[in-house]
Each structure stands twice: as structure tokens, then as C-alpha cells.
Amino acid sequence: MAYRSPGHGYADVAAHFREKVENGELAPDDSLPSVEEIRAQFDVSAKTVSRALKLLKDEGLVSHRGALGTVVTERPRVAPATGADRVARARNGGSNYAPGETSTGHTAAMLSCSDPGICRELGIEPHEEVVVRRRVFRVRDKPVVIGMEIIHPRALAVVSDLLKQGPRGDVHWFTDYEESTGKKINGSPEMRAARFASKDELEGLEVPVPHSDVAVPILVARTTWHDEDGPIEVMEDVFAPGVWHAARK
């Protein structure tokens, strides 16, 4: 039976194939149905199909290969997947980066925290200033994860270069803090959730969206870190659409 997509038909058609790519039903190099087959399946126009395929191409999930038609691209892999894994690797003397991985867009700033959830997890009042560090991890020059650190302002009294622009190298600031204070920093269980990306996140992940009303789903991983005095950082990782991610054991 033909399926008529509600609302913005092209976004629903794109979501259908995006889900098949992300759950592995469509693997790299698999071909999508032809335009005519998609039209028949969803009871939509050729223009709607074209817009849906363009959205998937812009997200890096598919590409056009001449006679083969539209095929699923090889998805970049991120290993380990989150900041919590990177902290563990750095503490063991390893690198923040997986082989072939780089990062760009390093920023650090004091910002007012307006997110009620972050304020609650850090134990601060709404709009209190926090340190926000941000970078974009890339594989083969393609952005795959936005790494965010929202740090309690009390950490600045110990680690004064948290506001330094650019990378800090492979030594995470936790190490400097623990060596200076003798207080161990431990992470809560990592939480993962799906939500729609913000405009800023889409720009950081270089995901072009043809219309502002298109909702793009993303995966977010969050870990809250504490020392004996209370919460000290919320670490958040935002995955680009279609990026394969390793589940934490």
C-alpha cells in the first residue's frame, strides 16, 4: 500500500531511509530504490523524492554513483565514541584522538548557563557563568562529533588555563586538577538520548538543511563528573547524523 507522508513529505521520506542506514538495514554500497520506486512506495512527487535524496546526500549518508543510482556511503567511525572514553584513554597515557582523527574549532569562554538541566547537574543557579570548552572531532576531514565541556567555575581557581584558546594537548585538565588538589574526579554513568539538532550544532557538524523547519535527529551522550566537593563538569558529545558510534560497555 502506498504511504502518504504527513506534513513535509520529503523530510519523512528522508527519515525513512536514514533509519534504515543507521540501523544497518542498508549497508555501505547498498543501492536505494529508484526515484520511481520511491515515488510509488510513498505516493509522492518526483520533486519530493529529489529533495529527500538531497537531504540525505547533504548529511553524508548517500551519494550518486552514475548507473548504480543512489548508494549508501561508508559511514565514518568514531572510536572511542565519547569524551568519557577519551578521559579514560588519556589517564592511561594514550591520546585524545583515535587513529586518523583530528579536531578543529577549539573555543573556550565564560558563558551564562541558561540550560536548566545543566544548572541542576552542576548545582549552580540559572544564568551563573560557567567555563565552556568546545571542539569538533573529524575523520577524513569530515566532522563527526561536537565535544562540549561545561565546567563549574570553581575549577578555574585550580586550573587557570581552562580559558586558553586552542587544544590543551593529550593531558586532560582533570589530571592537572587532581595533581594540584589530591581530589579524584569520577564520572557518573553515561547517559544517551536522541533529540533534534540545534541550528548551531548543524552548522558545527556542517550539515546543510534546505529549510529551517526541517528537524534533524541526533544522538547526544552526557556524563557528569564529580570530586569530593560536588559536581565539577558536564561533558556532552553530539554525534553527526549517520555517524556510527560505539556503545559503552
| More confident of the two residues 1 and 185 | 185
Averaged pLDDT of the chain: 86
pLDDT(23) > 80: no
Mean per-residue pLDDT for 44-48? 92
pLDDT band at 110 (very low <50, low <70, confident <90, very high): very high
Question: What is the structure's pLDDT at 89?
Answer: 77
Mean per-residue pLDDT for 136-142? 86
Question: What is the structure's pLDDT at 76?
Answer: 54
Question: What is the structure's pLDDT at 152?
Answer: 98
> How far is the CA of 54 from the CAs of 58, 61, 108, 162, 224, in angstroms?
6, 10, 34, 40, 37
Mean per-residue pLDDT for 67-78? 75
pLDDT(29) > 50: yes
pLDDT(2) > 50: no
Query: Which of 86-90, 148-152, 186-190 is most confident?
Result: 148-152
Mean per-residue pLDDT for 200-218? 84
pLDDT band at 95 (very low <50, low <70, confident <90, very high): confident
The sign of the CA dihedral 140, 198, 3, 36 is negative
Q: How far apart are CA 86 and CA 145, in angstroms?
A: 13
Listed by start position, the domains of the chain span 9-72, 77-245
Whole-structure pTM value: 0.70
Question: What is the structure's pLDDT at 171?
Answer: 78
Residues 3-22 pLDDT 10s: 444 445 888 898 899 888 87
pLDDT band at 81 (very low <50, low <70, confident <90, very high): low
Q: Which CATH architecture has domain 9-72?
A: Orthogonal Bundle (1.10)
Mean per-residue pLDDT for 191-209? 90
Mean per-residue pLDDT for 66-92? 75
Is 138 buried (19+), middle (13-18) or exposed (0-12) by CB count in 10 A?
Answer: buried
Please name the fold of domain 77-245: Chorismate lyase (3.40.1410)
Grid cell in block for residue 105: 574549532
Residues 144-159 pLDDT 10s: 899 999 999 999 999 9
Q: What is the DSSP-derived secondary structure letter of residue 211?
A: S
Beta-carbon contacts of residue 9 (< 8 Å; ≥ 6 apart): 42, 44, 48, 52
Supply angle C-alpha 90, 91, 92, rounded to 5.
90
